Amino acid sequence: MSNAQYFLEATYLIASILFVLGLKSLSHPDTARRGMIMAAMGMLAAVLGTLFHPDIHNYLYIAIGLILGSSIGIPMAMVPMTAMPQRTALSHAFGALAASMVGIAEYVIHGANMGGVKMGALGLEVMLGSLTVTGSLVAAAKLQEMMRGTPIMFKGQHFVNLGIFLGMITCLVLWLLNPTTAIYFYIVVGLAFVFGVMLVIPIGAADMPVVMSLLNSYAGLSSAATGFVLGNNVLIIAGTLDGFSGFILSILMCKAMNRSITNVLFGGFGAVVGTETGVAGSMREVGLDDVAVQLAYANQVVFVPGYGMATAQAQHAVRELGNILEERGVAVKYGIHPVAGRMPGHMNVLLAEANVPYSQLYEMEQINPELPSTDVAVVIGANDVVNPDARDNPKSPIAGMPIIEVDRAKSVIVLKRGKGKGFSGLENPLFFKSVTGMLYGDAKSSLTNLAQAVQKV
């Protein structure tokens, strides 16, 4: 082993340590930025070290890849924050694509000479990687609304999916038994691509936080498997960290919806037409000036944002209204449900972008005890996460899902585009309660108008 190799291993070890420290720093927003810069340094060290790898003779393809990758990656980092979910789905696709390409290349180069265990890892890597590529692309298309967000279901879908899955596993086993028969390997790759599409099309846009986390997990595990194939520890460590992060997030998201992962993946939620809950009464529409007076004389106002805030790009308008209320001495807080939006933490990022200090962003468990003493709760484009049926009606499809209990506040204002049902097609009894006032219209212009009206009070 030459000095160069020791040097290379040292950079990998440093990178591994810096990655862990970087993720650890994410436990608090004050330390997070510095920590991630350290992690980026670790990455730089590992990459620079690898450029001096003794096996590398030709830098042409490396240079092409690095330049091409940077020129796509940098613009992808400049997207508006509202496009974060799509962007993240795309980056899962790229991460998984890199892993499957490495796997395919390893097989092309070494063929059957790798030994059983390594081939097993390689098969797993390529399978997970390929299904994540297409799965993430479908998820990105749904989030970008290039595809309709409602679940795509057809008769016998589960059997078709099961068939594809079993076919994939059978070919993988056949390939492991006959390593020289390359055709099995390529069938596995092809079926994995199809399986990724089939896995994501039946999932509704409202369930995207879970799917995003799962795809994150698959992409990471496929990187970890690459580490097994190449016998490289930093790859195993980074891939495992990524895989587990996604896994933990998907469990958290499922808990926040009181559903199991199988239910999310195979339930086709959102395709069901809302069961009649027999909600009585009518919705009470309120005027802008009424709301402005309520807000202006409140002691505490809690904003509860949902995906509607993101689509209306209303985060800056919320902040402006919040500023004006604070200047009048109103305590302003934001209650954020874990699955509000289309990816974990989606609402937090949007509000942070609009300059809301994170000390005003409250998690569901923190804000719920405060709601009974809140004068006005303002729901901005959120629906299921504030649906009291989840708590009160055991027959509701979302029964048991923890919610932000805005109906316990003294008054609730719901900003809503129109009178129709929400995304999931469920009736929301909150809208019919006597404490609730509905303010129809585009959330952004409603909020801007409210801000002006409050100033006149």
Q: Which CB, 69 or 369, lies closer to another protein? A: 69
Q: How far is the CB of 68 from another protein (least distance, A)?
A: 5
Confirm or reject binding of residue 211 to another protein (CB under 8 A).
Answer: no
Q: How far is the CB of 379 from another protein (least distance, A)?
A: 19
Q: Which CB, 19 or 195, lies closer to another protein? A: 19
- Subset of residues 280 to 319 that bind another protein, contact rule: CB under 8 A: 316, 319
449-454-456 Cα angle (round to 5): 100
Q: Residues binding another protein: what is the number (CB under 8 A)?
A: 122
Q: Which CB, 25 or 436, lies closer to another protein? A: 25
Confirm or reject binding of residue 130 to another protein (CB under 8 A).
Answer: no
- Subset of residues 417 to 446 that bind another protein, contact rule: CB under 8 A: none
Q: How far is the CB of 271 from another protein (least distance, A)?
A: 27
Q: How far is the CB of 438 from another protein (least distance, A)?
A: 29
Of positions 131, 137, 254, 343, contacts another protein by CB under 8 A: 343
Q: Is 174 exposed, middle or buried (0-12, 13-18, 19+ CB in 10 A)?
A: middle
Closest CA to 433 of 416, 451, 409, 452: 409
Of positions 220, 308, 402, 437, contacts another protein by CB under 8 A: 220
169 Ramachandran zone, left/alpha/beta (phi>0; psi -120 to 50)? alpha
Closest CA to 123 of 180, 169, 181: 169
Q: Which CB, 42 or 425, lies closer to another protein? A: 42
Q: Which CB, 65 or 163, lies closer to another protein? A: 65
- Subset of residues 5 to 64 that bind another protein, contact rule: CB under 8 A: 5, 9, 12-13, 15, 19-20, 22-24, 26-30, 32-33, 36-37, 39-40, 43, 46-47, 50-51, 53, 55-59, 61-62, 64
C-alpha–C-alpha distance, residues 141 and 133, integer Å: 12
C-alpha–C-alpha distance, residues 391 and 404, integer Å: 10
- Subset of residues 231 to 250 that bind another protein, contact rule: CB under 8 A: 231-246, 248-249
What DSSP state is assigned to residue 114? G
C-alpha–C-alpha distance, residues 449 and 438, integer Å: 15
Confirm or reject binding of residue 3 to another protein (CB under 8 A).
Answer: no
Confirm or reject binding of residue 333 to another protein (CB under 8 A).
Answer: no
384 is annotated as an active-site residue: yes
Widest pairwise Cα distance in the chain: 80
**Which residues are 303's β-sheet partners?**
334, 378
Count of Cβ atoms closer than 10 Å to residue 131 Cβ: 29
Residue with tokens 């998907």: 250
Q: How far is the CB of 85 from another protein (least distance, A)?
A: 9
Confirm or reject binding of residue 183 to another protein (CB under 8 A).
Answer: no
Confirm or reject binding of residue 395 to another protein (CB under 8 A).
Answer: no
- Subset of residues 59 to 118 that bind another protein, contact rule: CB under 8 A: 59, 61-62, 64-66, 68-70, 72-74, 76-77, 79, 81, 84, 87-88, 91-92, 94-95, 97-99, 101-102, 104-106, 108-110, 113-118
Report CA-CA distances (Å) from 68 to 72, 134, 375, 376: 6, 21, 54, 51
Q: Which long-range contacts (CB under 8 A, 24 or more apart) does 73-76 make?
A: none
Q: Which CB, 81 or 435, lies closer to another protein? A: 81
Q: Is the dihedral of CA 334, 338, 340, 343 positive or negative?
A: positive
Q: How far is the CB of 131 from another protein (least distance, A)?
A: 16
Q: How far is the CB of 281 from another protein (least distance, A)?
A: 34
Q: Binding string to another protein for residues 344 to 363, with x set by CB under 8 A, is what?
A: xxx-xx--xx-x-xxx-x-x
C-alpha–C-alpha distance, residues 334 and 341, integer Å: 14
Q: Between 84-110 and 60-76, two packed helices, what is the crossing angle to 10 degrees?
A: 160
| CB half-sphere exposure, 300, CA atoms < 13 A | 14
C-alpha–C-alpha distance, residues 431 and 343, integer Å: 25
Q: How far is the CB of 238 from another protein (least distance, A)?
A: 4
Q: Catalytic pick from 384, 389, 407, 442?
A: 384
Active site residues: 384
